[in-house]
Structure 1
Amino acid sequence: MNRFMEVLENILMPVADKLNNNRYLTALRNGFMVALPLIIFGSIFVVLANLPFVNEWVGESAWSAYQNALGPASAATLSIMGLFVIMGIGYKMVEQREGESIYGAAVALGAFLILTPQLSEFVLDDVAHEVGGVIPTSVLGAEGMFLGIFAAFFAAELYQYFVKKNLTIKMPAGVPDAVSRSFSALIPITLTLTIFLVVRIIFSYTPFETVQNFIYTLIQEPLTALGSGLPATIIAVLLIQLFWFFGLHGQIIVNSVFDPIWYALNDQNYQAFVNGTELPNIVTKQFIDTFIVGIGGSGMTLAVVIGIFLIGRSRQLKELGKLGGPPGIFNVNEPIIFGLPIIMNPLTLIPWLLAPVVIALVTYFSMATGIVPKPAGVIVPWTTPAIISGFLATGNAWQGAALQLVNIVIVFVIWWPFLKIMDNQYYKNEQEANSK
């Protein structure tokens, strides 16, 4: 095993070093770090506001009041985390070149908002209505992240380009520094945002109408063509993981296409379960949510948290385990995704992609052979902890809980050498820092 880890480290570390020196990837990773405290805060309150089965104990009225009271905590942070990430990327991109980084954050946010349609749709009395001058919070979060990342990259680059060309207003001596810097940024910001406005106008004359629709269509159409079944499920799981690796909310992107399919299959199983007939489907919504996502969140990171507690020597991993452990029990894993980090970290790419695929195969064939009952179609709250959720999703069958335990062990084994490498690296850095 030591020899294997040595070979793995020799292969991955040069790649990691090369990627870490890429300023776009560095800005992307550091931009997410800016948003991390807000993400952790929102994650905690998501868990608190969605504790499973509490609504059945306190009644719907009290439960609704409780959720409404805690809702703004996540709505103002986790739900619009795209805004914080965009500002962080713009800030870090300009900071790398020793520019006025605060204007990098401002121009990145402005560029994204220019490309974002200020229009919301709602249905009232079966009639669709549109309201202008508003931006749905969904596009400020995970849905708009892909557009936001590239908007931040291009906006920061354009801003710096115009600054380097000395397209700035020089104020005379004696003018307050804040005023001077503001006027210095005026022309670069104006030119940058004008370009983004032109892009928006151009897209308004295309069939896509908006840049967001263009991106969504490019992602949606290939996914829709996949259909259902095990091969499509494997592809869907891989895409979820791959999108997350690049900082995009993979579940929202992929589920927007597959959810109608998975929910329909789920309902077929539920009807068969109620009628006492054979369950027709293995892959359903609960197959994904309970046995893949529902073990700590996307990528089944509950096993990663367990691994951190068992093998972690570095202070960085130990503190991350303390932060990510409690939310991870309830399948909220943003602290692990952004704190380990998993995003843009080549050391995590192999286990991040491999583990869910292996678990999907193990779960599928366990159910296909009859060792574990198929999902009964019961909708289990997504915050229900593992073991309990597996028991409920399979119609109160102990085999479902046992399968989740087996899955946790498998994921831990896959992650173990990679976690060990990261822990050794962090520990070495900490020891070197302490010795100075």
Structure 2
Amino acid sequence: MNKFLDAISDKLLPLANKLASNRYLSILRDAFMLAFPLTMFGSIVVVICNLPFLNDGTKALLNDLLGSGQSATMSIMTVFVTFGIGYYLSKSYDVEGIFGGAISFASFLILTPFFTTSDGGEKVSSVLSLDRLGAKGMFLGMIVAFLAAEIYSRTSKKGWQIKMPDSVPPAVAKSFAALIPAILTLSVFTAINAVVTVGFKTNLHDVIYNVIQVPLVGLGSSIWATLVAIFFIQFLWFFGLHGQILVNSVMDPVWNTLMFENLEAYKAGEHLPHIISKPFMETFTVGLGGSGMTLAVVIIMAFIMKKKQYRDVGRLALGAGIFNVNEPVIFGLPIVLNATILIPWVISPIIVTALNYFVMSIGLVPAPTGVSVPWTVPVFFSGMIATNSLAGGLLQIVDCLIVGCIWLPFLHMLDKQPDSAL
């Protein structure tokens, strides 16, 4: 068995290292993290404005007073992600990052229609629709930001710049150095917009949304794709590879888009379109003690297992586990390369996630509203905040009990092994 696991590890490690070090996946992760503080602020505003014990009049008043805090953050998330991609990608090429971010954002705006349609069907010019800057424009924003930053960085590296004398202030010199790459980059996207708008009588927002974003979001919102993602998270962690980072680097754009669509529907008082979203993945998977939902495992180790080394590890890991940090138990039990507990480690998150999806699909528990909950919020509280319902917190408690029941016989088996087998 050990030889088999070693063979798989040898095959997986190079692939995982390539994914972890991939320039574009790393930049995409960093760009979303750039927007994280803004997302949290917007989520706090949404929670305050929609507390379940408030009447409709109070909610309306709070939305009038505080609603701009959410509109200026979560509703225009594509703005920050686009700028972040341009900034970090340019820096990765050792090019001035601030100009890369600004040029990427401007390129996105060039492709964005500056008009909307009123309720009466009339065209209103010289305005930007919030949905173009939020969930609906997310994929176009990411694609354009990567392309714009690539063009800007490569033209800058080729030396297509205006060089100023050393006596010129650095800020002025950098602006002139970015002038030619900026003009070239923005000209490319202006030409693309002209061809699409005049030649095809449409805009790239609608093309990308219908051709790429809708199918990807549909796939990412399915329970089957979600269970496959969770399987790989668990499987990679078993070999000591950070499955959460590796898988989330690929899936986060989809899950975040689903989150923003839910939030827009929730604010409008409409039915939530998705069960699977970023808050679902963080609150009802990671939010149960970390990757693998190990809070129940830590409690069993700390208070039920007989061997002192397991009790010690459990009690040391309990404080961190309450806040969903579970590296102490992953490497202290250990879970990594421990064949005895491979089965519960992989199947318990899959079973619990499928159950959560089912109870939300039948309306027994509300789906997450789209409010972003910090992954370190303890169990029960994070579930209530994510769903704006007591049922969300109670579901997390049920989840922990199920995980504990699945793990208990395997931990008992581990407890009975002789020390030499540990």
Q: Give the TM-score range, shorter chain.
A: 0.5 to 0.7
Q: Following TM superposition, by how much is the alpha carbon of 1:163 offset from its aligned partner in structure 2, in angstroms? A: 1.2
Q: Which residue of structure 1 lines up, in the alignment, with residue 23 of structure 2?
A: 23
Residue from 145, 151, 176 that aligns with 1:183: 176
Give ranges in structure 2 of 5+ residues lacking alignment.
Answer: 231-246, 299-312, 326-343, 372-380, 408-422
> Is 2:151 the partner of 1:158?
yes
Q: Following TM superposition, by how much is the alpha carbon of 1:252 offset from its aligned partner in structure 2, in angstroms? A: 5.0
The answer (yes or no) to whether the contact 1:94–1:104 under 8 Å persists in 2 is yes
Q: 1:407 to 1:219 in 2, by over 3 A?
A: farther
Quick one: distance in 2 between partners of 1:11 and 1:413? 33
Q: Following TM superposition, by how much is the alpha carbon of 1:246 offset from its aligned partner in structure 2, in angstroms? A: 3.7
Alpha carbon RMSD of aligned pairs, Å? Answer: 5.1
> Is 2:192 the partner of 1:199?
yes
Q: Which amino acid aligns with 2:253?
A: L
Q: Which residue of structure 2 lines up, in the alignment, with residue 168 of structure 1?
A: 161
Q: 1:321 to 1:183 in 2, by over 3 A?
A: farther
The answer (yes or no) to whether the contact 2:103–2:186 under 8 Å persists in 1 is yes
Q: Which residue of structure 2 lines up, in the alignment, with residue 94 of structure 1?
A: 90
Q: Which amino acid aligns with 2:152?
A: Y
Q: Which residue of structure 2 lines up, in the alignment, with residue 301 of structure 1?
A: 283
The answer (yes or no) to whether the contact 1:243–1:249 under 8 Å persists in 2 is no
Quick one: distance in 2 between partners of 1:69 and 1:143? 26
Q: Which residue of structure 1 lines up, in the alignment, with residue 100 of structure 2?
A: 104
User: Which has the larger displacement, 12-21 or 217-226?
Assistant: 217-226
Give ranges in structure 1 of 5+ residues lacking alignment.
Answer: 227-231, 261-266, 268-284, 326-350, 416-436
Q: Following TM superposition, by how much is the alpha carbon of 1:388 offset from its aligned partner in structure 2, in angstroms? A: 11
Q: 1:156 to 1:221 in 2, by over 3 A?
A: closer
Q: Which residue of structure 1 lines up, in the alignment, with residue 253 of structure 2?
A: 248
Q: Following TM superposition, by how much is the alpha carbon of 1:41 offset from its aligned partner in structure 2, in angstroms? A: 2.2
Size of the alignment, in residue pairs? 333
Q: Which amino acid aligns with 2:20?
A: N
Q: Which amino acid aligns with 2:45?
A: F
Q: Which residue of structure 2 lines up, in the alignment, with residue 215 of structure 1?
A: 208
The answer (yes or no) to whether the contact 1:90–1:153 under 8 Å persists in 2 is yes
The answer (yes or no) to whether the contact 1:304–1:412 under 8 Å persists in 2 is no
Paired residue secondary structure (1:120): strand
> Is 2:167 the partner of 1:135?
no
Q: Which residue of structure 2 lines up, in the alignment, with residue 79 of structure 1?
A: 75
The answer (yes or no) to whether the contact 2:348–2:406 under 8 Å persists in 1 is yes
Quick one: distance in 2 between partners of 1:192 and 1:364? 44
Write out aligned runs for 1:356-395 (5 A).
Answer: 358=351, 361-362=354-355, 374-375=362-363, 382=369, 386=383
Q: Following TM superposition, by how much is the alpha carbon of 1:247 offset from its aligned partner in structure 2, in angstroms? A: 3.3
Quick one: distance in 2 between partners of 1:288 and 1:43? 18
User: Which has the larger displacement, 234-243 or 43-52?
Assistant: 234-243
CA offset digits 1:239-292 (Å, max 9, x no partner): 9999984432547559979x99xxxxxx9xxxxxxxxxxxxxxxxx78964xx6
Quick one: distance in 1 between partners of 2:272 and 2:112? 33
Paired residue secondary structure (1:143): helix
